[in-house]
């Protein structure tokens, strides 16, 4: 790690793959800070004032207000629309060709990307200073965000590519889940049909795999294996990061003690505090119609086949 650089874990992959759970588990290690999906901070936090993981509205959270004050000059972050527009000019899926192939970048794109990278570097360095932590965890998942983090000079990026069975993901996207962070009205997490969720699963996992060619630290992890042996996986992550922290104090086999984290966006599990049991959500095997399982299996082949094969190989070790 370069002196002064931020050690940042980026959890990539498709939505509904368990990234919030992994983020929060890692965040319980001494010196680690769970951030949630920081990609959404400009829209969901600064503009909409949704709840922080600590349970208070973003603008009332002393942690995030201290971070913003440290990272930005007076008034710079008050115009959330400007920051959101800058993000949307470089960090959406349609920008992947320019992020993958720098020679395709226009002068305007290069300028906006440079501005946005500067903002991200200041933002994450401010979090390190305010939190006092050595390792940050960002579970944004979105590939463009991961590629931009990989180009940010002040960040030493470690990518955990979290993959969950495509059928489980498709089933999860069809479930109705309340969004407690939108505290001023009743609102539910977005839902997707089979075709759209399957397309996103393929696209996001493929692009996250491509990120492995751009960064020196990349690790692919199965959601099912993580939830089967969370303590073992956490110890593997710590070793992979070159750290000496011992996670035994907060995790014992499948039981976990969750503190309060200042997470931005993500699954409602980010509001869970205290004792929690980690179990793989396998409801799809019982409740998902056989025809739907076959459709998703067919559409995600051969990536799903390769993923399942790799998972069996890990189990046999």
Query: What pLDDT, on a 0 to 100 scale, did the predictor assign at position 123?
Result: 97
pLDDT digits (tens, 9 = 90+) for 13-38: 999 999 999 999 999 999 999 999 99
Query: What pLDDT, on a 0 to 100 scale, did the predictor assign at position 308?
Result: 77
pLDDT digits (tens, 9 = 90+) for 215-257: 999 999 999 999 999 988 999 999 999 987 666 667 777 788 8
Please check the confidence at residue 10 and state whether its pLDDT lies above 70.
yes
Please check the confidence at residue 270 and state whether its pLDDT lies above 60.
yes
pLDDT digits (tens, 9 = 90+) for 176-190: 999 999 999 999 999
Query: What pLDDT, on a 0 to 100 scale, did the predictor assign at position 305?
Result: 86
Query: What pLDDT, on a 0 to 100 scale, did the predictor assign at position 306?
Result: 83
State the sign of the Cα–Cα–Cα–Cα dihedral 61, 20, 45, 115.
positive
Question: At the top level of CATH, which class does the domain 6-315 belong to?
Answer: alpha beta
| DSSP collapsed to 3 states, 208-268 | HHHHCCCCCEEEEEEHHHHHHCHHHHHHHHHHHCCCCCCHHHCEECCEEEECCCCCECCCH
pLDDT band at 267 (very low <50, low <70, confident <90, very high): very high
Top-confidence range, 86-90, 230-234, 308-312: 86-90
């Amino acid at each position: 790690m370069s002196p002064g650089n931020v050690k940042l874990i980026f959890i990539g992959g498709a939505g509904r793959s368990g990234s919030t759970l992994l983020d929060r588990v890692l965040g319980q290690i001494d010196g680690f800070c769970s951030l949630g999906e920081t990609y959404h901070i400009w829209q969901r936090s600064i503009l909409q004032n949704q709840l922080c993981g600590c349970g208070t509205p973003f603008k009332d959270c002393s942690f995030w207000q201290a971070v913003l004050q440290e990272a930005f000059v007076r008034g710079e972050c008050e115009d959330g629309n400007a920051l959101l527009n800058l993000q949307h000019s470089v960090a959406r899926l349609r920008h992947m060709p320019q992020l993958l192939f720098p020679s395709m970048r226009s002068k305007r794109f290069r300028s906006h990307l440079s501005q946005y990278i500067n903002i991200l570097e200041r933002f994450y360095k401010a979090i390190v200073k305010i939190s006092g932590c050595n390792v940050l965890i960002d579970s944004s998942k979105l590939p463009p965000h991961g590629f931009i983090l990989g180009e940010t000079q002040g960040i030493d990026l470690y990518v955990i590519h979290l993959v969950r069975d495509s059928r489980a993901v498709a089933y999860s996207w069809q479930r109705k889940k309340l969004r407690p962070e939108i505290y001023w009205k009743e609102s539910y997490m977005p839902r997707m049909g089979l075709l759209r969720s399957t397309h996103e699963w393929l696209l996001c996992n493929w692009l996250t795999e491509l990120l492995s060619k751009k960064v020196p630290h990349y690790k692919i992890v199965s959601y099912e294996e993580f939830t089967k042996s969370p303590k073992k996986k956490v110890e593997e992550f710590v070793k992979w990061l070159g750290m000496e922290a011992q996670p035994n104090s907060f995790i014992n086999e499948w039981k976990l003690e969750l503190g309060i984290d200042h997470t931005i966006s993500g699954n409602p599990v980010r509001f869970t505090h205290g004792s929690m049991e980690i179990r793989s959500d396998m409801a799809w095997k019982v409740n998902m119609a056989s025809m739907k399982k076959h459709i998703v299996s067919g559409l995600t082949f051969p990536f799903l086949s390769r993923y399942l094969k790799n998972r069996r190989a890990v189990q046999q070790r």
